[in-house]
């Protein structure tokens, strides 16, 4: 209950304070490339229920038809504005709305697309999907350079499924089993601190 109340207050305040920045980014995206400002994608949330996550669009409109669901290094599908907002994580800010409406939390396992959730081991799946997914979590911090790691792999898709995804799941499960409000606040501060180094 305390976690949800904190999510509502923090996400609502965040949307209010960041509204000028959100408007500027939206105008930049609209000017930079044709297509909608927002990107919506189906993800798997708490108890396996699907929802649509919101991000600022950082790729070409036809990106899904041109490559995999994972982003690899200097992906040519990324737009000019998209390179900055992805590097700075500004593209994630619309997820504050997903937190406010109850589909996500500020801190929790990052939600995956159904295709990858289908590959979760049963024991870890039950743990990871027992809570609301989040904007940040220990796995997000640990794999902040995921795109670069995948770019260095001979087979990026296989590297993600066989190497990165299992590690992320273990980190997420460990977080869920030991989380406290204090650890959530520390993780939020650590995430914000990393943004300054983008």
Range of the domain at 38: 2-195
Mean pLDDT, the chain, rounded, equals 91
pLDDT of 34 over the 80 cut: yes
pLDDT of 195 over the 60 cut: yes
Distance CA 104, CA 54 (A): 11
Report the pLDDT value the prediction gives residue 73, as an integer from 0 to 100.
66
What would the pLDDT profile of 82-92 be if each residue is shown by its tens digit?
889 988 889 99
pLDDT of 69 over the 80 cut: no
What pLDDT band is residue 158 in, cutting at 50, 70 and 90? very high
What would the pLDDT profile of 102-124 be if each residue is shown by its tens digit?
999 999 999 999 999 999 999 99
Helices (H) and strands (E) in the chain, counts: 11, 4
How many domains does the chain divide into? 1
Report the pLDDT value the prediction gives residue 156, as an integer from 0 to 100.
86
What pLDDT band is residue 173 in, cutting at 50, 70 and 90? very high
Residue 173's CB: how many other CB atoms inside 10 A? 20
The tally of CA atoms less than 13 A away on the side-chain side of residue 84 is: 6
- pTM summary value: 0.89
- Calculate what percentage of the chain has a pLDDT beyond 70: 94
pLDDT of 196 over the 60 cut: no
Report the pLDDT value the prediction gives residue 178, as an integer from 0 to 100.
94
Instruction: Identify which of 83, 188, 91, 61 has the alpha carbon closest to the alpha carbon of residue 134.
Output: 188
What pLDDT band is residue 65 in, cutting at 50, 70 and 90? low
Helix, strand, coil percentages for the chain (3-state, nearest 5): 60, 10, 30
Calculate mean pLDDT across residues 148-170: 90
Quick one: which H or E segment has residue 22? Answer: helix 2-32
Task: End-to-end CA distance of the chain: give it in Å, rounded.
Answer: 33
């Amino acid at each position: 209950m305390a976690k949800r109340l904190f999510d509502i207050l923090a996400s609502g305040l965040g949307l209010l304070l960041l509204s000028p920045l959100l408007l500027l980014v939206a105008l930049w995206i609209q000017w930079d490339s044709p297509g909608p400002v927002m990107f919506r994608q189906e993800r798997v949330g708490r108890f396996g229920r699907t929802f649509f996550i919101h991000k600022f669009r950082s790729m070409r409109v036809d990106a899904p038809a041109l490559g995999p669901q994972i982003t690899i290094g200097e992906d040519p599908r990324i737009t000019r504005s998209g390179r900055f907002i992805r590097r700075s994580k500004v593209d994630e800010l619309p997820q504050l709305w997903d937190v406010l409406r109850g589909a996500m939390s500020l801190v929790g396992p990052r939600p995956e697309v159904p295709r990858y959730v289908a590959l979760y081991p049963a024991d870890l799946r039950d743990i990871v999907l027992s809570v609301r997914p989040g904007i940040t979590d220990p796995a997000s911090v640990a794999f902040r350079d995921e795109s670069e790691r995948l770019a260095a792999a001979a087979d990026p898709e296989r590297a993600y499924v066989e190497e990165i995804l299992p590690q992320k799941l273990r980190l997420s499960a460990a977080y869920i089993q030991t989380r406290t409000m204090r650890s959530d606040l520390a993780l939020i501060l650590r995430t914000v601190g990393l943004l300054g180094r983008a």
